Structure 1
């Protein structure tokens, strides 16, 4: 049954123990704004607090998961501290007690990829295109990606994806250990919902405990790295390199980094 969300672009539905959180801003390729981050954080916190909710399912629209942060908003109103909506969202997803299943298709850019590092099961459509273009935007990794990616896929591949900002497919996400399966575009969401339903039918305390054990050994290290990345990311937002990269993106031109050292 649908219910109002904190903002129109985040739709929250509860059914049979599953809270489905859908990003719905297709006219901007699901680019995330401060109110959208706040709404997702509120929904995730509610999922952990409500006994009837056993599992969270994160989705986008059929042809887009999320293009990442809304560049115009980041230029006009950049996050300014650890209490900003994006940082609160990252803290919530890191510490989420109940399992998160993600259904990903189309663009999954920046945080659209790094948030998957904190999901427990990830299912991709064949049109999924994942990318972490932080360096090309004059920024640095976030969400603990600089620690978690080498742990998951090894340093050479993590460096390739982060330093060169390369786009990779759903099939490659499975190969790299970032996703559980890739399916035809009309089937990936069904598989994600089936996995969420299976989790919702499991003994809930056992599920939460197992998730905690899977994450606990590296939680402190990931949290420390996330804080360091977050501080650097916020500082980089005001750096000349980042301003040039973002302005070039908005103006649809190639950025010029030749004057920077």
Structure 2
């Protein structure tokens, strides 16, 4: 079995590839551990100047693996902020080097909220981005309850959270969620070109600029608050009904 997360360092760019194409790059807790390791490496390794996220297959990421969620919920959930996903979120909050993403196909849940921590996002014009947390009776994560309305405005952000309906790549560009929208075949080459340009810039200047533009402590504090809300919902009757409805391909009944 091939690794679900692959990394490659070349010319100052650490490329992290979601490589679980057969599952639409749905992310498991084991994958979050690998993502946390890769992101922390990008931050601490002087050989890395830029972090680039991309994916194999026809989707950037289908979000969290629902089977993983059901297993965690049925076991009682534990302390959610101790889970591998939160190690990854902490690494994103702390990341002070440029991050680029190449997005084709679906970007769901964390597949979208991850983009809020990227400094340049290249999306396919026909990509579909969504954050259906409420559809699964959950709550926002990755500091998206702050970053998404800050980026696109409260009403648009609330609609994305509350209705869970996707927006396409062209809309993502118009709303400020992406820096480039290009034909699908050009996404990776465009993102790689931008990453290479960033890798050639003064690294300390870039890091200081990014630190001034973000408050890592604030983001991590909010991620922990979100984690409490997320965790309490994950073990709730609402969420169990939503998970079962998802696996049974029916509408949930929250009656």
TM-score (norm 1): 0.93
Residues 212/152 of structure 1: CA separation in 2 closer, same or farther (3 Å cut): same
For the aligned residue pairs, the C-alpha RMSD in angstroms reads: 1.2
- Using CA pairs under 8 Å that are at least 6 residues apart, name the structure with larger relative contact order, 1 or 2: 2
Shift of 1:225: 2.1
Deviation at 1:163, TM superposition (A): 1.1
TM-superposition CA deviations, 1:71-127 (whole Å, max 9, x none): 011101355321210111111111112111010111100010011111111000123
The counterpart of 2:56, out of the listed 52, 61, 70, is 61
Q: Which residue of 2 aligns with 1:8?
A: 3
Other-structure match for 1:4? none
Structure 1 residue runs of 5 or longer lacking an equivalent are 1-6
Structure 1 residue 62 displacement after superposition: 4.2
* Matched residue, 1:235: 232
Q: TM-score, normalised by structure 2?
A: 0.95
2:103 is aligned to: 104
What pairs up with 1:120-159 in 2 under 5 angstroms? 120-159=119-158
2:212 is aligned with 1:225? no
Q: 1:178 deviation in Å?
A: 0.9
Q: Give the secondary structure class of the aligned counterpart of 2:126.
A: coil
Rounded Cα–Cα distance in structure 1 between residues aligned with 2:121 and 2:229: 28
Kept after mapping to 1: 8 A contact 2:62/2:107: yes
Q: How does 1:35-114 map to 2 (within 5 A)?
A: 35-78=30-73, 80-81=78-79, 82-114=81-113
The alignment status of 1:20 with 2:15, answered yes or no, reads yes
The CA deviation at 1:147 is 1.3
Q: Does 1:175 align with 2:174?
A: yes
Total equivalences in the alignment: 250
